[in-house]
Structure 1
Amino acid sequence: MRNNSLAALAAVACAAAAARGDFLAEVWGNRAMCHHQGTFRVDGQVAQFDLSALAQGTAIHRAVLRAMPRRSDYRATIEIYPLAPDQDEAPPGAKMLALRPPWYNTFDATDAVRSCVAKGEGALRLHMKVAPGWRPEETTLEVAYDGTAKDPTPAVTRLRAVHHDGQTFLTWKEHEDILADCEAVTLENIEKKLLPLRGNREVAYRVYASDAPITAQSLGQAALIAEVPFVVSMYYLDSVRTIEHPNRERGEGPSPLVGGARARRDPVPPYVIAKGEEPLPRGSGLYVRTITRPGKTYYAVVTALNGREAVGRDGLSAANSLRDPVAEQPAPPIPVLQSYQEMKHHDKAHPGWTISTYNYWLEFPYANVPRQLAVATRQLRGLPPGERGELCVNLGSYGSQPAFIARERGGGTVTLCPPWDQDDSILQGRHECLDTLRSYDQGVVHNWAQRRTLALVEWAKREFPVDPNHVTLVGQFALWGLRHPEVFATVISDAYGNFNKGREAQKHGFSWGPYPLGSKNWLGIDQWDHMNVCKWIRDNPKVELPYLVLRPTGASHVGDIGPWAWPELYRALHDTKRAFTARHGGVWSGAPLAGTLMPDKIRRNQSLPAFANCSLDGMPGDGDMSNNGGVGADCDVVADLNGWLLWDTDTIVDEPDRWEITAYLYAGDPKQGRPGAPADTCTADLTPRRCQKFAPMPGQAFQWTNTSLADNQATAGKATADHWGLVTLRNLTITKGKNRIVVSRASR
């Protein structure tokens, strides 16, 4: 009896499939490229599309409302409601049209159109209740339905899939190669061929996915997951050189294809999608999907001309619809190697480096909308087998490309250069509504660039011969790395620790909420509060931080991102007994000596000495940086804190009841042109931090000795662990001849 029922159901399904027409997607509206022109009108807040061309009962597969290209103010939530024929405004409790992921720039009107056509109402009526940025003259409705494909759209060919590292790469041959007569593919040539088509003959490729094979009859049930632009999807546009001072005669300048001023006559390389593969051949299309659940997926690609898809019963074949599913497994995405070159050192005895460039295809949680970003690395050549060195993560600077940073500012055994903060304001995070049609109330602030950087560090640990305990983070806005002592041994940054102060942060205020207010972030914390690193340091005195090097870059001017706000961070670090060194003031004056020499030696799994109150410290004062970072009434032109104090990392003793270290003042290095400390002796306080085994309890008594290794003279004293369980040795004498300092639990 059960088999007979299944047979009957199968027969009904076959009959339904046979009854289905061709797959069509067409556009209603008043724009010149609409297929159903003159079908849109507006009466106040009511918008209406004439859908009389769709017979009652027509199968509707998809309906997409495009009402506004972008928005500049994200305070109000866009509210668009379907209306019944007798309604002029949405009733209380009505359900508004949802935005369509992952781009969130169009609205899903499928249910509304489906209901309208099923009832034979002949028109879709919408209440545009809250619609900032609405452009009625550009408003269109795209409807996919069963119809007759009288003029099928051209088909792509050679569709194939490559899956690796949690991503599926789909490539195909586009239906037309408009660059075929170009000797070289450059931004300039792409612009000449592609831009005239915009507004006249707009071409896109639509990617469909399904758990079942996709045929012309089942295309309507497949999910539309992406719309891929014509021509440019295969090209690594962001690899083209950025130009700080463009010369139009050389073809340099801005391009509508990629941000920034570019060398528009430089060749644009095609993408490589997997290690060991050749670059994509000219005329290819490319889509990359990040997988979120394991399974097997079928894919198809359909050409859309001016938004129109027309697929006849024989319109999908093995050439544009995969016959075998792609076995997919979620995994962290990795950057894909695009090219590499050998870089020589001026010293012929030096082995030189390998500079590699990558592309990183990303979606949530690494970007609020699908993006592709450049990554670069610099690896020291000739490293002995089995040896592991420092991983230096350089966050770059305004306008810089990762490949430039890798070549010009590399450090460590391997330099990792993540993409600069194109979507993450000064590396502090960005609201997920930006560059979409969502509002501040429809999301939170996420730390996109920080997540990408942390993911890249984990990838680099697997990919390169680096010590996972020796990772250094470098960047103007790198203080966020203090929150990740499980990753970074050292952080090198400007001292801009409170983003509530300074003009630069205020300029980016819209990125973090309805300025001057802030939105909640991914942790449920107001973003402005989260960006006050000074407060976080004070609120978490027992959290062990990376060794922190603070140095000025080029923004040393009052009230912007310069030293005016820096003393607040120095005081927070000092008061909570953190291990740091700082240079205050002096545009591009570099790091203090300790910040130059120690990062190469410091490991994350080692204890640190937190120095304070050094007698050789300068005076930062109140940050009044007149005279190009100079002297107010109460501060030094350039003030170093803990700048001359170094220590031996190889001889640290860190045991449950004993802690030892050799500390010293820098004596200088004539070969490197580095002067020594301005005195042979200084006094300073010292607190053991980031201890691996040494774990004092509050109130516990300790004794210490300080032995000069130059003359074996020793001093001794006592100390008591404070309420945080920290033991501070006060007013120690430290010399250029080195001092062995021993702390042990006091005998009873």
Structure 2
Amino acid sequence: MKQKFDLLPLLLSFHLTVFVGLSFSAVTDLSVEFRKGKTFITWTEDADSTKTYNLYRSDEPITGLSGLSPIVNLPCNTGWDPRHRVRLNIIDLGPQLSDSTGLFVYTPRVDETAYYAITVVTAEGVEDTLLTSGVNTISSPISEEYWPNPWGVIKSESTSWDHTFKLIFWMDYFDWPHKQNLYYDYVGVNINRNIPVGQPAPLMIGLHGWGPYTWNTSGDTLLDTLYPPSFGTNNMVQLTPQDNYYPERNSAWWYGVSNHYGDSTALDGSHPVRAGDTIVDYVAQRIVRCIRWVMADSRFQVDTNRVYLTGVSMGGGGTLTIGWHYPDIFAAISPAIARVIYSSSAFSARYGTREMALTARNGKDVYDWQSIPWLSLNCRTTEFPPIVNMNGSKDGLHPMCQHTLLYQTMTETKRGIWAEWRNVDHVSSGYGAVVPGGYSRFVKNELYPAFSNGTNDDNYGEINPLTNYSDDYATNPVGLSYDSAGIMNGYIDWTSKLHDMGLENDDIVDNEDSISITLKSDSSNTTVDITPRRVQNFPVVPGTTYKWESIDVLTGNSVASGTVLPDPYNLITIENFSISRTGNRLIITYDSLATRLSSAHAVNNNIMLSISPNPFNPATTITIHIPDHMFTKLQVYDVNGKPVKSLFAGITRNGNHSVHWDGRDNDGKTAGNGLYIIKLSAGDKVFAAKAVLMR
């Protein structure tokens, strides 16, 4: 008689053995929330620290993993910051994440809805694909938005000194070389207690010098010492970021590293650059994103026209590069003992050798892109913030020749610079105000006079040719001669919105009819070339003749006059203008036949032309108002008067009309950065307005 064999107990035993051997424990408590440009994803991790987590994202409900790939595989303990040894928080002033909570912060790049799911993976690489709605997959979509400037989270606040906040800011994980560095960091913001609530205040960003900062730190209380108030007790908002990106070299010099940083490691622990790498300004991007967040967040009450950047030594170099790579943000920048030229002899480990010809993300040679003299000469139509500079003529680290090149090119390009150099080495103290009223006198939306070729400037030396960048300028060239100490333009003062010289009727004027600037000199027999910069309202049209006049403030008499044409870069410069100790008023007017032009709009005889947004990227809308039926033509010109794009020509009915310009020319090619003139011909009238394309 045959014995019956029951397979069921054996099969149950086999399945139990398999699942116990794999030791799965499904991830739980998946939570997804979008806030202010970021999607915060948290979950409860498994107790086994060797396991990792696959995160999935889809535009459809995730009920199974067939056809899906994880957007990222994450280790355990992602809610923990190993550098500062603290738990993160994802809600303003909210609790820290628990020890068992994992975290990923996603940065949407478009407006869309998304579903998320997460699974656990064993150390052997086996994934638990079981999905349970409300446990490790969400059943309702999350509405996500693209924010050009996302916000972060306030970690903590203190009122022990003034009102100090510690912020956490996340970059886009997928645009970040995170193999060696985390995609988030901290920044400190201090609001001086003397600022009335609700009153906008200037924002001051300070960049520290070279050295190790946060890599060997421990303890939550350390965050209280990382970001102390650093600018005294002036009525301002202060932001103090950290450059701790490049641990084996202490810093990234406020710029960035190779896009392949961390892919390979040398024996000395460094991450050498390779042929074809792109040197990306990761650190600068992070700082700028934080700045834009603080500017936009009403809790910090920032006057967005008064944002200033300053720094010492390495921070001075970062002040120059960040200030000029992101010129739309800053009213003025003030570097001290800064590096001006990034020599390959000192920076080949970061940027490669000159022969490797590595580029920044915009395709420019990285050494050129880091050079302020190069930017000044090669980006002539860009309105960079004025520079208030201090350096030592005996500086062996950042030698005088680099500053000579800076002063020469700023003069050549008629840009705003005020400078003092002292007969010292790499020392940042002991300098004067450099510019009368200090660099916080500048306002981003106010005209200021740029001075060049002043007769009372001290000798800062001369380097020829200016366009020779084959020399790294790591040391002073043989034969370079200059005064051991001196100033540039600091002896000339003028009245502006925030700095009154106390003279009668000396307010600065910038309207559709004229420019008026009252100036005086601390030195005798001062003559200087004056170029109005950041003109807001006065029409500057290529090929138009302008009149200028000098009025003696003491007597009210006209002492000089003349005419001037805009240069090829659409700048008006009054050469050899004499300024007395008692003051002279410069008045510039346009010819009566000149085209009426304003920075954003033109209105006359009930005809209106406006542009918004302006500046724009990549497109803008031109709105016109026509009072009667008439023939109209709308065209775009560059600053040299060359036609770029014909937008419309034909009979227009009365009323408002809008025309879209996509930033392309008549051939469909993308127009470059810079200033453009939108010209409206309506009947026998001609109007124009300036538009700035800033990609």
Q: TM-score, normalised by structure 1?
A: 0.61
Assess if the C-alpha contact under 8 Å between 1:703 and 1:746 holds in 2: no
SS of the residue corresponding to residue 451 of structure 1 reads: helix
- Greater Cα shift, 585-594 or 571-580: 585-594
Give 2:282's aligned amino acid: W
Task: State the match for 1:569 in structure 2.
Answer: 406
Assess if the C-alpha contact under 8 Å between 2:548 and 2:588 holds in 1: yes
- Cα deviations by residue, 1:557-606 (Å, 9 ceiling, x for unpaired): 33x43333210110011112111101234321465524473432211121
Deviation of 1:280 (Å): 1.5
- Cα deviations by residue, 1:682-733 (Å, 9 ceiling, x for unpaired): 4433222222214264573523114134x65652232533633444334444
Give 1:721's aligned amino acid: L
Give 1:613's aligned amino acid: N
Structure 1 residue 473 corresponds to structure 2 residue 318: no
Task: State the match for 1:76 in structure 2.
Answer: none
Deviation of 1:443 (Å): 5.8
Task: State the match for 1:10 in structure 2.
Answer: none
Q: CA separation of 1:589/1:712 partners in 2, compared to 1, >3 Å: closer, same or farther?
A: farther
Deviation of 1:339 (Å): 0.7
Assess if the C-alpha contact under 8 Å between 1:397 and 1:420 holds in 2: no
Find 1:451's aligned residue among 268, 279, 285: 285
Q: Distance in 2 between matches of 1:568 and 1:393?
A: 26
For 1:653-692, list aligned pairs within 5 A: 653-665=509-521, 679=523, 682-692=526-536
Structure 1 residue 422 corresponds to structure 2 residue 261: no
Task: State the match for 1:202 in structure 2.
Answer: 50
Find 1:272's aligned residue among 68, 89, 103: 89
- Cα deviations by residue, 1:336-387 (Å, 9 ceiling, x for unpaired): 110111243xxxxxxxx31111111112686344611112211123534553
Assess if the C-alpha contact under 8 Å between 1:577 and 1:612 holds in 2: yes
For 1:458-537, list aligned pairs within 5 A: 458-463=292-297, 464-475=300-311, 476=316, 477-480=318-321, 481-494=323-336, 499=341, 502=343, 505-513=344-352, 516-537=355-376
Assess if the C-alpha contact under 8 Å between 1:696 and 1:726 holds in 2: no
Find 1:302's aligned residue among 95, 115, 119: 119
Deviation of 1:310 (Å): 5.0
Task: State the match for 1:328 in structure 2.
Answer: 144
Q: Distance in 2 between matches of 1:377 and 1:741?
A: 41
Assess if the C-alpha contact under 8 Å between 1:663 and 1:734 holds in 2: yes
Task: State the match for 1:638 in structure 2.
Answer: 485
Q: Distance in 1 between matches of 2:548 and 2:136?
A: 77
Percent identity for Structure 1 against Structure 2: 22
RMSD: 3.9
Find 2:261's aligned residue among 434, 437, 450: 434
For 1:214-233, list aligned pairs within 5 A: 214=62, 218-219=64-65, 221-231=67-77, 233=78
Deviation of 1:388 (Å): 1.8
Assess if the C-alpha contact under 8 Å between 2:188 and 2:241 holds in 1: yes
- Cα deviations by residue, 1:9-43 (Å, 9 ceiling, x for unpaired): xxxxxxxxxxxx99xxxxxxxxxxxxxxxxxxxxx
SS of the residue corresponding to residue 478 of structure 1 reads: helix
Find 1:740's aligned residue among 575, 585, 598: 585
Assess if the C-alpha contact under 8 Å between 1:149 and 1:312 holds in 2: no
Q: Distance in 1 between matches of 2:339 and 2:543?
A: 29
User: Structure 2: which 5+ runs fail to align?
Assistant: 1-13, 215-222, 265-271, 464-474, 498-506, 594-695
Assess if the C-alpha contact under 8 Å between 2:37 and 2:150 holds in 1: yes
Task: State the match for 1:578 in structure 2.
Answer: 415
Find 2:128's aligned residue among 311, 316, 332: 311
For 1:37-48, list aligned pairs within 5 A: none
Task: State the match for 2:604 in structure 1.
Answer: none
- Cα deviations by residue, 1:321-349 (Å, 9 ceiling, x for unpaired): 444443333324322110111243xxxxx
Deviation of 1:498 (Å): 5.5
Q: CA separation of 1:661/1:295 partners in 2, compared to 1, >3 Å: closer, same or farther?
A: closer
Structure 1 residue 154 corresponds to structure 2 residue 1: no
Assess if the C-alpha contact under 8 Å between 1:358 and 1:376 holds in 2: yes
Give 1:659's aligned amino acid: I
Count of matched residue pairs:
519
Assess if the C-alpha contact under 8 Å between 1:203 and 1:305 holds in 2: yes
Deviation of 1:164 (Å): 1.2
For 1:356-371, list aligned pairs within 5 A: 356-363=165-172, 367-369=176-178, 371=183
SS of the residue corresponding to residue 404 of structure 2 reads: helix
Give 1:744's aligned amino acid: T
SS of the residue corresponding to residue 535 of structure 1 reads: helix
Task: State the match for 2:43 in structure 1.
Answer: 172
Deviation of 1:207 (Å): 2.7
Assess if the C-alpha contact under 8 Å between 2:340 and 2:398 holds in 1: no
- Cα deviations by residue, 1:62-99 (Å, 9 ceiling, x for unpaired): xxxxxxxxxxxxxxxxxxxxxxxxxxxxxxxxxxxxxx
Assess if the C-alpha contact under 8 Å between 1:161 and 1:168 holds in 2: yes
Task: State the match for 2:201 in structure 1.
Answer: 389
Q: CA separation of 1:636/1:329 partners in 2, compared to 1, >3 Å: closer, same or farther?
A: same
Give 2:532's aligned amino acid: P
Assess if the C-alpha contact under 8 Å between 1:302 and 1:309 holds in 2: no
For 1:535-574, list aligned pairs within 5 A: 535-552=374-391, 557-558=395-396, 560-574=397-411
SS of the residue corresponding to residue 30 of structure 2 reads: strand
Task: State the match for 2:428 in structure 1.
Answer: 588
Q: Distance in 1 between matches of 2:198 and 2:89?
A: 30
Assess if the C-alpha contact under 8 Å between 1:615 and 1:682 holds in 2: yes
Q: Distance in 2 between matches of 1:440 and 1:490?
A: 36
Deviation of 1:512 (Å): 3.4
Larger Rg: 1
Give 2:37's aligned amino acid: G
Q: CA separation of 1:286/1:746 partners in 2, compared to 1, >3 Å: closer, same or farther?
A: closer
Give 1:691's aligned amino acid: V
Task: State the match for 1:604 in structure 2.
Answer: 444
Assess if the C-alpha contact under 8 Å between 2:389 and 2:419 holds in 1: yes
- Cα deviations by residue, 1:178-229 (Å, 9 ceiling, x for unpaired): xxxxxxxxxxxxxxxxxxxxxxx734333333445556xx245443233333
Q: Distance in 1 between matches of 2:171 and 2:375?
A: 30
Q: Distance in 2 between matches of 1:652 and 1:498?
A: 33
User: Structure 1: which 5+ runs fail to align?
Assistant: 1-20, 23-146, 178-200, 241-267, 345-352, 666-676
Q: CA separation of 1:473/1:633 partners in 2, compared to 1, >3 Å: closer, same or farther?
A: closer
Q: CA separation of 1:695/1:214 partners in 2, compared to 1, >3 Å: closer, same or farther?
A: closer
